[in-house]
A and B are shown apart, each in its own frame.
Chain A
Amino acid sequence: MIVASILTTNLAILVLAGFIGFVVISKVPNTLHTPLMSGTNAIHGIVLLGGLLVIGFAGNGTFNKIILVIAITFGTINIVGGFLVTDRMLEMFKAKPKPPPAAAQDGSAAAGGAAGAAQDGGAPKDAGAH
């Protein structure tokens, strides 16, 4: 029986993952470009796993251990920092609940109505500049 080699299997996965990556991001509003960049940035922090696996084979070499601990530190910063900073950016896109009394105190009916509208569309809409 002919068995696909590890290399060809991995190449198949690589190519398919590439297509998924292309398809997943087809159209993104301008306002989300930076958070999306930051989110994908966090995902490639998965390179940390490489450090976790290779350090098991570091043996007695002090230098190998040092560079792998740095690699694990870097990978962890990438993941932890990446997801947190994306979350903080996206917090700003959440619809903020606005207390109606504040709008009433405005005194101006126009401002009150507008505040209501803002509440409906709390997330900035597509900048639509493509």
Chain B
Amino acid sequence: MIHPVLGSFFVQNPNFLAVLYIIAFSLFIQGLRGLAAPTTAVRGNRIAAVGMLIAVVATLLNRHEGNWGLIALGIALGTAVGIPAARQVKMTAMPQMVALFNGVGGGAAFLIAWSEFRLTHGYSHTPTYIAIFSLFAAIVGSISFWGSNIAFGKLQEILPGRPITLGAGQQAVNLVLLTLAIAAGVDIAAGDSSQGIFIGLLVCAALLGNAVVLPIGGADMPVVISLLNAFTGLATAATGVALNNTALIVAGMIVGASGSILTNLMAQAMNRSIPAIVAGGFGGGGVVEGATGAGEHAGVVRSTSAADAAIQLAYANRVVVVPGYGMAVAQAQHAVRELAKELESRGVEVVYAIHPVAGRMPGHMNVLLAEADVPYDQLKEMDEANPEFPRTDVSLVIGANDVTNPAAKNTPSSPIYGMPILEVADSRSVIVIKRSMNPGFAGIENELYYEPKTSMLFGDAKSAVGEITAELAQI
């Protein structure tokens, strides 16, 4: 038991709180450093979680006001929703789950700002800077909340992944919404305490969040989530300044800064620029028409059977497996491993070519194939795999699409032009396992499918690969 007098001294001494906050954000920084390297990442995340626990407990110990029941209710509800959501989400659905978690963080920021506004009667008798930071948190938090929800909807395929845009007027509309939100903020900071203006500010920011993310294509969504993540960090830091809370300032700003760096790194890996992503329309509008047109004159699609594919593979010397999101969705990695074993037993050399952003999560393919016990030295990164395609007899593309599209190299008008791809089209023949001819995540046609050397095996990746293995056993 804590001594009743001494205990209250420690607990309610503001320096005690400050020290605990310093420990908490030191752990955040240490944790983030750990997260940046594969060997220390698991520990890094746990270190940061301990820091968070310390920050929350320290805050609870040092608050003097009531409403404990409501706090317990909020934390219980949040835990009851958060734990099952994080436990049950499928690996393929991770990015949209992160979007949701990010969105609620932004939601908390704008709701807190709203209550600050209401409890101070429109920031009366508070310094102007507090109003400014609180209003910043309201606008940015609201953008992040709505933008993240749209990102979730697109990745979860509740909303179409294709860009939804107002056309040429989009930028103007965004600018008007932003101006209105800022104008409402200036009005409130200058002394207007009307509820209506604050709600108007929230509505403008909400519409802006929708208007900014809706025109962005599904393929860019992980980068957008990372950007919104940085936004929520900034909103958190602003909340901290308004509340004079060091833990919020430090943690929020670190996330704001590291999140921007990370957004930039992710955009680089996909050879995209952040302004181009935010400008939107990737794989959308007239560009799609052009790409589809190119597909139309490229000729016909050859479809093949599992038996033919098996023969083609059995007599190859070198086979490169190119896995993509389709393999992840179908959970076909074990079937793929079985097929590779069967081929290897016949003396065929099998390697896997991994595009850095294959799937919907960087590192997705490495993780799935490692799970199926694919030998690590058979996994080839893009730079290593590409020079080897010309001496490859068969490239077996399993549920990968945009990352193999030669348009990225050959068609300057294509929206994915310039994106680094696996140069599958250089190999002697290509077998593509795919559910249908539907375009991939970027919403554009793949010229590869119309190449004379390409044959398509339509079907679910797992069953198609299983059928090939069965046919192979009979040869």
Which residues of chain A have a CB within 8 Å of any CB of chain B? 6-7, 10-11, 13-14, 17-22, 24-59, 61, 63-65, 67-94, 96, 98, 108, 110-111, 114-115, 117-118, 120-130
Which residue of the partner chain, among B79, B83, B105, contacts A44 with CB atoms under 8 Å? Answer: B105
**B236 interface residue per 8 A CB criterion:** yes
User: Are B367 and A52 within 8 A (Cβ)?
Assistant: no
Q: Using a CB-CB cutoff of 8 Å, which residues 236-265 of chain B contact chain A?
A: 236-237, 239-241, 243-262, 265
User: Are A43 and B63 within 8 A (Cβ)?
Assistant: no
User: Are A45 and B105 within 8 A (Cβ)?
Assistant: yes
> For A72, what are the chain B residues with a Cβ–Cβ distance below 8 Å?
70-71, 73-75, 78, 108
A33 to chain B, nearest CB (A): 4
A sample of 13 cross-chain residue pairs with beta-carbon separation below 8 angstroms, ordered by A number, consists of A7-B241, A10-B244, A13-B253, A25-B258, A29-B363, A34-B362, A36-B36, A57-B65, A61-B119, A71-B108, A78-B82, A121-B376, A127-B362
User: Are B108 and A75 within 8 A (Cβ)?
Assistant: yes
- Total number of B residues with any Cβ neighbor in A under 8 Å: 125
C-alpha spacing A81/B101, complex, angstroms: 7
Which residue of the partner chain, among B79, B247, B249, B377, contacts A76 with CB atoms under 8 Å? Answer: B79
Which residue of the partner chain, among B25, B44, B82, B375, contacts A80 with CB atoms under 8 Å? Answer: B82
Give the contact stretch, choosing among B149-157, B225-233, B305-313, B408-416.
B225-233
> For A35, what are the chain B residues with a Cβ–Cβ distance below 8 Å?
35, 41, 45
C-alpha spacing A70/B111, complex, angstroms: 8
C-alpha spacing A27/B118, complex, angstroms: 43
User: Are B55 and A118 within 8 A (Cβ)?
Assistant: no
Which residue of the partner chain, among B73, B115, B420, contacts A71 with CB atoms under 8 Å? Answer: B115
Which residue of the partner chain, among A18, A42, A111, A126, contacts B344 with CB atoms under 8 Å? Answer: A111
> For B97, what are the chain A residues with a Cβ–Cβ distance below 8 Å?
81, 85
Q: Is the interface of B mostly helix, strand, loop or mixed?
A: helix
**B114 interface residue per 8 A CB criterion:** yes
> For A69, what are the chain B residues with a Cβ–Cβ distance below 8 Å?
70, 73-74, 77
A-B contact count (CB 8 A): 421
User: Are A17 and B253 within 8 A (Cβ)?
Assistant: yes
Contact with A along B265-300 (1 / 0, CB 8 A): 110110000000000000000000000000000000
Which residue of the partner chain, among B71, B83, B247, contacts A46 with CB atoms under 8 Å? Answer: B247
> For A120, what are the chain B residues with a Cβ–Cβ distance below 8 Å?
376
> For A70, what are the chain B residues with a Cβ–Cβ distance below 8 Å?
74, 107, 111
Closest residue of chain B to A29, judged by CB?
A: B38
Closest residue of chain A to B359, judged by CB?
A: A34
User: Are A80 and B108 within 8 A (Cβ)?
Assistant: no
User: Are A30 and B363 within 8 A (Cβ)?
Assistant: yes
Give the contact stretch, choosing among B26-34, B317-325, B452-460.
B26-34
B247 to chain A, nearest CB (A): 6
C-alpha spacing A79/B241, complex, angstroms: 20
Beyond A74-B111, A85-B86, A85-B89, whether A130 also contacts B28 by CB under 8 A is: no
C-alpha spacing A11/B253, complex, angstroms: 11
> For B164, what are the chain A residues with a Cβ–Cβ distance below 8 Å?
none
Closest residue of chain B to A80, judged by CB?
A: B82
**B187 interface residue per 8 A CB criterion:** no
> For A111, what are the chain B residues with a Cβ–Cβ distance below 8 Å?
341, 344, 375
**B104 interface residue per 8 A CB criterion:** yes
C-alpha spacing A46/B73, complex, angstroms: 18
> For B60, what are the chain A residues with a Cβ–Cβ distance below 8 Å?
52
Known: A41-B101, A50-B243. 15 other contacts (CB 8 A): A31-B363, A34-B222, A36-B32, A45-B101, A55-B67, A67-B115, A77-B82, A79-B78, A80-B82, A87-B45, A88-B86, A118-B373, A124-B370, A127-B381, A128-B383
User: Are A74 and B104 within 8 A (Cβ)?
Assistant: yes
User: Are A81 and B112 within 8 A (Cβ)?
Assistant: no
C-alpha spacing A14/B42, complex, angstroms: 28
B237 to chain A, nearest CB (A): 6
User: Are B119 and A58 within 8 A (Cβ)?
Assistant: yes
User: Are B245 and A53 within 8 A (Cβ)?
Assistant: yes
User: Are A27 and B36 within 8 A (Cβ)?
Assistant: yes
Give the contact stretch, choosing among B46-54, B178-186, B389-397.
B46-54
